[in-house]
Amino acid sequence: MSLNNDRSYKMKLRDVENAFKYRRIPYPKRSVELIALLAISCTFFLFMHTNKLNSRLKEMEVKLQPSEFSALGLTGGNNHISGHDAGKHDDINTLHGTYQYLKSTGQLQHLTSSQLNNTPRAQLETIFFNRVTKTGSEKMMELLKILAKRNDFVARRDAEALYEVVIMDPVYAKNFLYTDVLNSSRPNSYTKHVAFLDFDALDEPWPIYINLVRDPIERLVSWFYYARAAWYIADRYQTFGAAYQMPDIHWVRKDFNRCINEHDPECIYEQMEMGNLGDHRRQSLYFCGQENKVCMPFNSHEAMQRAKQNVEERYAVVGTWEDTNVTLTVLEGYVPRFFKGAFDEYYAMRRKLGNFNRNAFRPTLNDKTRAILSQNLTREIEFYQFCRHRLYKQYIALKMDRDPALREFN
């Protein structure tokens, strides 16, 4: 074989080899679709299990919240607070800090749960849960449904509407009470987004008021992204049809940090301004009441003081899911007719249903934005901490009633 023939033969072998090496193997269309479907299914499977694992870890974290004084270092024995944690525990806005404050001011010796229990003042066997937006009220509503079966009462709520009627004139309020709240002959709970109603002023008997609060900054951010979630928009459109105005895509894609830093009109929190109810910036409004002149000015000192007074005098419990175990214990202790077994039922519910209305894709708030909001929400933050402090006092009083020796702990 000549040299040229040999080279030609080798080139042909190489061409054949390359043809096999790089050839594209045709797959039937259905096979390609099946492979794509399997890939999507695997991705979804991993996402769901990651989400489930995250939920279980959150549940374990919540269960490890303090539910007994021994977990806080408030009893004798080997419990102690490390130097690293001492400042945190001494903070008045913590359970341990509240205990130390009450002890140092001499209030602890005389503290009893009866002093902090407004339930006996109620004139109706009705829980009135005038729920605050974005505080985890869906969880409380679900818990009330479960407890209704266990404790023999009726769990009721308002009809879903496109717009919530939070502020009512006296005629509307009176009609609302007659047609919705006071029309049950059985022990019951009633839930609605509505500002505090003064039953004395309306000449009606008082129910048992309860509510939830949440860190005001977290509430604002939560609502900002919750209202933009695709599933929320789809659900609103499916429920209300053309009456719900579909949002603009640029509004949906808006980032909260940029919204604050660029002074977007949606994210400006002017002191004492009277508008912008839609972004739920006024947590205190739900406790202040229906008087616009007093309760509507944003971050108002007078509104905050009125809200504090109503909580102190009229609410059986104002809890927070940020202190889940404390909240459940106080509800069971101060409103046992309705909340007996709340602790066990809550965790059984969490295992079964997982998180409620939780937006797993919410971006992180940066430090600059948080600092700006802290300056603009001073009274809202103070009111929130007041509610937590009262909740801690109720919890401590319960524990000391059950174990008087805790009053003597040093």
What was the pLDDT predicted at 288? 97
Give the burial string for 110-132 (b: 16+ CB within 10 Å, else e).
Answer: ebebeebbbbeebebebbbbbbb
Edge-first strand order for the sheet with 126-129 is: 154-157, 188-191, 126-129, 208-212, 315-319
Give the pLDDT mean for 221-229: 89
Of 38-42, 107-111, 195-199, 270-274, where does the model show the most confidence? 195-199
What was the pLDDT predicted at 387? 98
Give the pLDDT mean for 89-111: 85
pLDDT score of 301 more than 60? yes
pLDDT score of 20 more than 50? no
pLDDT score of 149 more than 60? yes
Under 8 Å CB-to-CB from 372, ≥6 apart: which residues? 260, 261
SS3 2: coil
Is residue 130 within 8 Å of residue 195, measured between CB atoms? yes
Give the pLDDT mean for 341-361: 81
Is residue 226 within 8 Å of residue 134, measured between CB atoms? yes
User: Where is pLDDT greater, at 271 or 85?
Assistant: 271
The sign of the dihedral angle between the CA atoms of 348, 352, 356, 359 is positive
Of 22-26, 94-98, 180-184, 323-327, minimum mean pLDDT range: 22-26
- The DSSP code sequence of 283-295 is STHHHH-S-HHHH
- 135 CB burial (10 A radius; 0-12, 13-18, 19+): buried
How far does CA 30 lie from the centroid of its chain?
46
C-alpha distance from residue 254 to each of 176, 221, 223, 363 (Å) = 37, 12, 13, 11
pLDDT, averaged across the chain: 82
pLDDT score of 85 more than 60? no
What was the pLDDT predicted at 75? 37
Residue whose C-alpha is closest to residue 180's, from 191, 170, 164, 196: 191
Under 8 Å CB-to-CB from 24, ≥6 apart: which residues? none
CB atoms within 10 A of CB 225: 16
Residue whose C-alpha is closest to residue 307's, from 209, 383, 215: 383
Q: Confidence band (pLDDT; 50, 70, 90) for 33?
A: low
Domains of the chain: 69-408 (3.40.50.300)
Provide the residue count of the chain. 410
Of 66-75, 77-86, 130-139, 211-220, minimum mean pLDDT range: 77-86
Q: Pull the structure tokens for residue 117.
A: 């229990």
State pLDDT tens for residues 379-409. Answer: 999 999 999 999 999 999 999 998 877 765 4
User: What is the rounded distance in angstroms from the CA atom of residue 174 to the CA atom of residue 389?
Assistant: 33
Give the pLDDT mean for 64-80: 39
Q: Pull the structure tokens for residue 238.
A: 């499916």
Residues annotated catalytic, as ranges: 193
What was the pLDDT predicted at 182? 94
What was the pLDDT predicted at 369? 94
% residues pLDDT > 70 (the chain): 75
What was the pLDDT predicted at 341? 97
User: What is the rounded distance in angstroms from the CA atom of residue 277 to the CA atom of residue 275?
Assistant: 6
Is residue 117 within 8 Å of residue 316, measured between CB atoms? yes
Under 8 Å CB-to-CB from 44, ≥6 apart: which residues? none
% residues pLDDT > 90 (the chain): 59
Considering just the CA atoms, what is the radius of gyration of the chain in Å?
29
Of 63-77, 182-196, 270-284, minimum mean pLDDT range: 63-77
The one-letter amino acid code at 284 reads: S
C-alpha distance from residue 346 to each of 65, 174, 189, 191, 391 (Å) = 14, 34, 17, 18, 18
Of 1-10, 11-20, 324-333, where does the model show the most confidence? 324-333
Q: Confidence band (pLDDT; 50, 70, 90) for 244?
A: confident
Query: If you ran DSSP here, which 8-state letter would residue 319 be given?
Result: E
What was the pLDDT predicted at 227? 86
